């Protein structure tokens, strides 16, 4: 892939927060360095790892722009330290167990126009318990995320303008699980212009010690740290954001139990798709303001797609 000349390439900052993930760290570093992007600032912030991470950082220190090695207060604190050192026009963090896809920085450098606030890629998911699938970063807006109209987003595929990250308050270092969601909502509330690339720009790794795997399936708010922190984040955002977005967040609180019901309905592979879809629509009418949402109609559409079968081909048509 042709890479623009350095003088025409926007400066891009990539931050990797690192702590005791030496089994993945080298692959992560190489996925960034092998982009061969000519105007890259690469910052690795390591919280004084006690595994092989130190040896790996020594090996690549002369190819990394800045290596910080000191204790920190967790992932968000490490990313915040990197952000404070960032001098790129564009910014993102790639965790020490994730990967950049070849050509990602080149595409960002070539296609990111001045009118774009957020440049997004799709993200492939791999590792523990996966058979390989892609998370699509689509239809992102502060309102949709606060109302719980979005199923998900994948942070490794999101590229922010660095000065806008600072303008909206940066990384909230007091958060440990939902700081990416918190940042994205605040960012989109002020800078809503999003470009959706059709490319896969990163790989998100699931493994036994990843936060997603450790917390997945914990339905009790007292046990699931993502759920506990989402309440804290909503409390904060509802006091910061303009009234329309604050009201969207309050509606999102009401929708969260309903959305859990939708997920459970989709997971019931033994149930009748038509029957389940009818049940969802009937229940939604009991509280249409809360339950009639894009996620509801999306769930019904997915169920109906399971029912549809290809039309049998008549022998004379072969």
pLDDT of residue 269: 72
What is the greatest pairwise CA distance in the chain?
73
Angle (CA) 38-40-41 rounded to 5° is 150
Report the topology of domain 8-215.
Spore Coat Polysaccharide Biosynthesis Protein SpsA; Chain A (3.90.550)
- At residue 132, the 3 state secondary structure works out as coil
User: What one-character-per-residue DSSP string does 232-285 give?
Assistant: HHHHHHHHHS-HHHHHHHHHHHHHHHHHHHHHHHHH-TTS-HHHHHHHHHHHHT
Residue 312 clears pLDDT 70, i.e. is over it: no
Closest C-alpha among 211, 190, 197 to residue 158: 197
Q: What is the pLDDT of residues 218-272, one digit of tens each?
A: 455 545 677 889 999 999 999 999 999 999 999 999 998 999 899 899 888 778 9
Mutual angle of helices 225-240 and 243-267, in 10-degree steps: 160
Q: What is the pLDDT of residues 112-146, one digit of tens each?
A: 999 999 999 999 999 877 667 899 999 999 999 99
Contact 302, 266 (CB under 8 A): yes
Task: Please report which confidence band the pLDDT of residue 309 belongs to, taking 50, 70 and 90 as the band edges.
Answer: low
Angle (CA) 131-137-139 rounded to 5° is 135
Burial of 220 (0-12, 13-18, 19+ CB in 10 A): exposed
Within 10 angstroms of residue 305's Cβ, the number of other Cβ atoms is 9
Q: Could you state, in order of their start, the residue ranges of all structural domains in the chain?
A: 8-215, 225-307
Across the range 57-72, mean pLDDT stands at 97
Report the run of H or E that residue 67 belongs to, with start and end: strand 66-69
Residue 17 clears pLDDT 80, i.e. is over it: yes
**Among all chains, which residue has been given the structure tokens 């689509």?**
138
pLDDT of residue 317: 43
The pTM assigned to this predicted structure is 0.87
Closest C-alpha among 184, 153, 149 to residue 169: 184
Can you list the alpha helix ranges (DSSP code H) found in the chain? 22-33, 53-60, 75-85, 104-111, 142-146, 162-167, 179-190, 211-215, 225-240, 243-267, 273-284, 288-291, 294-307
As a whole number of angstroms, the distance between CA 53 and CA 21 comes to: 7
The overall average pLDDT reported for the chain is 89
Residue 210 clears pLDDT 80, i.e. is over it: no
User: b or e along 132-145 (b: 16 or more beta carbons within 10 Å of the residue's beta carbon)?
Assistant: eeebbbeebbbbbb
Ranges 149-153, 207-211, 257-261, 303-307, most confident: 257-261
As a whole number of angstroms, the distance between CA 292 and CA 272 comes to: 21
């Amino acid at each position: 892939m042709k890479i623009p000349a350095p003088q025409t390439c926007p400066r891009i900052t990539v931050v990797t927060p690192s702590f005791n993930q030496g089994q993945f760290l080298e692959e992560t570093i190489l996925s960034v360095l092998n982009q061969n992007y000519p105007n890259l600032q690469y910052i690795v912030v390591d919280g004084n790892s006690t595994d092989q991470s130190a040896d790996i950082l020594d090996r690549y220190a002369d190819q990394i722009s800045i290596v910080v090695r000191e204790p920190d207060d967790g992932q968000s604190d490490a990313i915040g330290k990197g952000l404070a050192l960032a001098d790129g026009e564009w910014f993102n963090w790639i965790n020490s167990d994730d990967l950049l896809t070849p050509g990602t920085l080149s595409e960002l450098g070539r296609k990111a126009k001045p009118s774009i606030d957020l440049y997004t890629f799709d993200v492939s998911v791999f590792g523990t318990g996966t058979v390989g699938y892609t998370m699509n970063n689509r239809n992102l807006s502060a309102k949709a995320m606060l109302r719980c109209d979005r199923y998900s987003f994948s942070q490794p595929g999101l590229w922010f303008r660095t000065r806008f990250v600072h303008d909206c308050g940066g990384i909230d270092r007091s958060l440990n699980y939902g700081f990416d969601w918190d940042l994205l909502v605040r960012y989109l509330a002020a800078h809503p212009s999003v470009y959706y690339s059709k490319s896969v720009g990163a790989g998100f790794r699931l493994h036994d010690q990843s936060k997603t795997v450790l917390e997945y399936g914990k339905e009790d708010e007292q046990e699931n740290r993502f759920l506990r922190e989402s309440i804290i984040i909503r409390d904060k955002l509802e006091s910061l954001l303009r009234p329309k977005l604050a009201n969207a967040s309050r509606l999102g609180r009401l929708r969260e139990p309903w959305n859990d019901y939708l997920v459970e309905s989709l997971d019931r592979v033994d149930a009748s798709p038509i029957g389940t879809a009818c049940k969802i629509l009937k229940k939604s009418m009991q509280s249409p303001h809360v339950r009639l949402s894009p996620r509801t109609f999306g769930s019904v559409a997915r169920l109906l797609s399971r029912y549809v079968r290809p039309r049998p081909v008549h022998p004379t048509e072969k």
